[in-house]
Amino acid sequence: MIYETGAGVVKDKLNVHLVAHTHDDVGWLKTVDQYYVGSNNSIQGACVQNVLDSMVPALLRDKNRKFIYVEQAFFQRWWRDQSEATQTIVKGFVSSGQLELINGGWCMHDEAAPHYIDMIDQTTYGHKFIKQQFNVTPRIGWQIDPFGHSAVQAYLLGAEVGFDSLFFGRIDYQDRAKRKADKHLEVIWRASKSLGSSSQIFAGAFPENYEPPSGFYFEVNDDSNIVQDDVNLFDYNVQERVNDFVAAAVSQANITRSNHVMWTMGTDFKYQYAESWFRNMDKLIHYVNKDGRVNALYSTPSIYTDAKYAETDSWPLKEEDYFPYASDINAYWTGYFTSRPGLKGYVRMLSGYYLAARQLEVLKGRNKAGPTTDSLADALGIAQHHDGVSGTSQQHVANDYAKRLAIGHKEAEAVVAESLAGMVSSKSVHGSSATHFQQCPLLNISYCPPTEADLSSGKKLVVVVYNSLGWKRSDVIRLPVVSENIAVYDSSGKQVESQLLPVVKDSIALRNYYATAYTGKSPSSTPKFTLAFTASVPPLGFSTYTIQSTKKPASNFVKQALYKHTGIGKGDVEVGTGNLKLIYSKSEGKLSQYVNSQRSIEASVSQSYLYYAGFDGTTGLQASGAYIFRPNGSYSIDSQEQNITVLRGPIYEEVHQKINPWIYQITRVYKNKEHAEVEFTVGPIPIKDRVGKEIVTQITTNIKSNKKFYTDSNGRDFLERIRDYRTDWNLEVNQRVAGNYYPINLGMYLKDDKSELSLLVDRSIGGSSIVDGQLELMLHRRLLYDDGKGVAEALNETVCVGDDCRGLAVQGKYYLRIDPVGEGAKWRRSYGQEIYSPLLLAFTEQDGNEGTNFQVSTFTGMDPSYSLPDNVALLTLQELEDGRVLLRLAHLYEVGEDKDLSVLTSVELKKLFAKRKITKLSEMSLSANQGRVEMEKKRLVWKAEGSKDDETAPPRGGPVDPLKLVVELAPMEIRTFIVTVSKTLSRRLVSPDLSLHSL
């Protein structure tokens, strides 16, 4: 029988848009490759290859059928295996609209744990592939599965990439109930205070999740009734199925504005036999339209969006975000903000490294024969998946993410080493160099073979320090060394101040265990000291330092003094030699005061640890697990030793506290910085009592915060949070702690009318303010029961070296500062960039006593008199395959955030690209797949209810004059350009020490 499937939209009828889709996790219960090829099916019967293979003949069978596909990490695997004939067919599908490549990122990224730069990068990576192969630009956001939705997703990864709408499945159960009742599931989402209506987007939450209505699943072996329309066979059911269809459509229409509803016909890894779905949808469209009560059609989210736009003048306004997400009364999906903090830390470290490596690839010139940074781009793209960096995959999959990252990191290290070798060499930067640079990816655990070498034989260690930021910076370098008889010299041969601190026994044991776990062999040496010195590095450039052996410590070298307290007696211990001083109570061995003489701050402050016991779920109640945070009481972790050890030196001072056998903390106060750095080591978390534990640190002050605190959105905007309150509905408080947790990527702060307390973090974690005046961060979690949300494993991470298996220990940092009210944003923004982009270190040994044998020992990629404004960050500097350069510049401040820096600013491209002539400059969309002007012209302009027709959008930077080449940036604006530069590379010595290449 031939079915009539060509129905379009019918005016004045209820239109049911059937959107055939598959949701393919880029790793979850199986690895990305196992999902693709369909192996390891004892865990989950899923094969993406089958989905895409069966899609082709199914679409060929009927030109009216439509299908959407999302995850480019899978699609490109499939694409490169196809014959030219199949590729031609698929290009025809895309061109005709039968196949819509939607969202278009490498994965469907998480929205809590990724940094906004990673979100941009992985989306750009996928969009580039789609543009190259099909010459199309995705126009719909499809974030159907992440567990809560961020403001940055709506305005940056929605409007700013040119999307006309954004659809998702998961919002809080209380929020969903109210929105269904009010017909507010579909809204105009205006998520940026700074960019306002210029970056709003039409956003739709599905009525339940991202699956079809009950009874309309048609995968082979699904239990829904198929449409049986052969009267010669038993079980004929056409009218029954049509009635079911109409009833489900009308039910959905009752909670939706306009005469259009979308049915998401598919779910996880469906369409492995696509014909099973399409055969039944063909019949439903045919018989439902014959029935005439409603109109059914094959559709896509683009068609649905256009229909919505045509029918309704204005939509409800939504601001802020959709965090936290609860699926029912005790199921707050806020545990995953911290799950797998080791993986989260690794992703963040490599994100900053990837940014720097791409810059160096530009500065030297991309090596088409390799190595390149592409492998790291792929691994980081995959890791942003909503079961990747989120920490919600099975353990073997988390291991696979880490393995891919390690492989990508190794190749990027080769790019960095090759680039630096060319840049310090007297040869052309494209030539080869004999200099061999090593790097230390395990420096976080004080393992660095190059710095642990014995220099007593007359060798010297040269350290190249690269700064990927657009402004000059000075920072303290800390390196493990074996000898105390060493000194540090800058590139002019002048000795620089340094200090040695003894390496703590506890950290050596941790170092040896984890170095062996990661490298497969035991370290060959044991460092006795940490050498520290201050490096000063120009913007987008490097400085070099040499470490040499001395007969005895140099005269200006100050060794550490050990200062130990036993808890006996009264008085205070003062730590810090600069403006900032931390005061510790001698009797309790705890932090008691924060004093900044420069800013007239004298605040009472304390820090403590506690753990939340995880609900075990054994009585049928919701357990705490990889996704869910469900505390079963909180328990103080008191320091078992009230001793504090203070190490004093000219550059910084350290306070060591062994809180208990599995928590060790070092607090550093730097002479030239006005914040405290807290390095924590937590783990292995003990579980002999069979209680899972979620470890939290709390900072308590006298600030009268009145239930309010502020957390970042993916490292970008800060959103106001009010404890036990939601803007969009009257919150019924069931989980007082878990329901007030939010994702933290950059930091959080609270304030009153006098002062503000800020915390910045080195990776994404969860945090809150459960008590006025107090901020808390969840640092680590180890749980013994599955939370029943699909991962089917307890979050119980272990590491093994041979037969020695232990719970995972996590080392990380957070940073604390108190400012007069209104003055904290500058530190949060500028130092936040320094945390994201730490100085990159490379090491090489050389012979001789004086200086280095480098031709170029100090370098900047800019005009040496220029640096970027304090409120601008260089997000992307990347050489593309065709030699052009991808450039992204970001304004770091929101409107009204800082009295001096929340203003229109500008960047002089001629000085940024100092010695190469810019021959063409094209402004692009955020993901660089279309011209910005072209994108703005075709984007749908939506109206929010209550908005006035003459409402003016906030200002943005104006067009770039092709002669002046000055880029303006308004608060929170990110501008993306493709830059064509002259091929010739000018090179000259600006001073004996400063060589200037161009970009």
pLDDT for position 898: 95
Give the tens place of pLDDT for each residue, 748-763.
Answer: 999 999 999 999 999 9
pLDDT of residue 36 exceeding 80: yes
The one-letter amino acid code at 886 reads L
What pLDDT does residue 457 have?
78
What's the pLDDT at 951?
67
Contact 634, 704 (CB under 8 A): no
Tens digit of each residue's pLDDT (9 = 90 or more) over 63-106: 999 999 999 999 999 999 999 999 999 999 999 999 999 999 99
| Residue positions counted in the chain | 999
CATH 2.60.40.1180 assigned to domain 361-372+400-554+839-860? The reply is yes
Q: What is the mean pLDDT of residues 636-658?
A: 87
Quick one: DSSP state of residue 198? G
Q: At residue 946, what is the residue type?
A: G
DSSP structure class, residue 294: S
- Residue 988: C-alpha distances to residues 116, 130, 133, 143 (Å): 37, 41, 41, 50
DSSP state of 658: E
53 confidence band (pLDDT: 50, 70, 90): very high
SS (H, E, C) 914-926: CCCCEEEEEEECC
Q: Decide if 533 contacts 497 (C-beta within 8 A).
A: yes
Looking at the predicted structure, is the pLDDT value of residue 726 above 90? yes
**Most confident listed range (284-298, 477-491, 845-859):** 284-298
Level-2 CATH architecture, domain 557-835 = Distorted Sandwich (2.70)
d(CA 279, CA 269): 18
Q: d(Cα 485, Cα 966) in Å, to the nearest integer?
A: 51
Q: How far apart are CA 788 and CA 626, in angstroms?
A: 9
Q: How many CB atoms lie within 10 A of CB 583?
A: 18
> Where exactly are the structural domains of the chain?
15-103+138-322, 361-372+400-554+839-860, 557-835, 872-944+953-981
Q: Between β-strands 99-101 and 67-69, what pairing exists: parallel, antiparallel or unpaired?
A: parallel
Tell me the residue type at 969: L
Summarised one tens digit per residue, pLDDT across range 246-261 is 999 999 999 999 999 9
Does this model's pTM top 0.85?
yes
Taking all residues of the chain, what is their mean pLDDT, rounded to a whole number? Answer: 92
How far is it, in rounded angstroms, from Cα 855 to Cα 488? 20
| Domains 361-372+400-554+839-860 and 557-835 fall in the same CATH topology | no
Residues 310 and 317: their CA atoms lie apart, in Å, by: 18
Q: pLDDT tier at 433 (50, 70, 90 boundaries)?
A: low
Three-state DSSP class for residue 110: coil
| CA distance linking residue 674 with residue 220, whole number of Å | 63
The topology under which CATH files domain 15-103+138-322 is: 7-stranded beta/alpha barrel (3.20.110)
Cα–Cα dist 878/891, whole Å: 19
Q: Provide mean pLDDT across the span 900-907.
A: 96
Mean pLDDT of 361-389: 93
CB 241 within 8 A of CB 284: yes
Range name among 203-212, 584-593, 637-646, 703-712 with the lowest pLDDT average: 637-646
d(CA 358, CA 372): 9
Helix axes 341-364, 825-836, angle to 10 degrees: 80
Q: Tell me, what amino acid is at 121?
A: D
Average pLDDT over residues 200-226: 95
Please provide the CATH number assigned to the domain covering 872-944+953-981.
2.60.40.1360
- Predicted pLDDT of residue 991: 35
Q: Which has the closest alpha carbon to 921: 876, 977, 983, 967?
A: 977
What per-residue confidence (pLDDT) applies to 638?
80
Span 817-831, pLDDT tens digits: 999 999 999 999 999
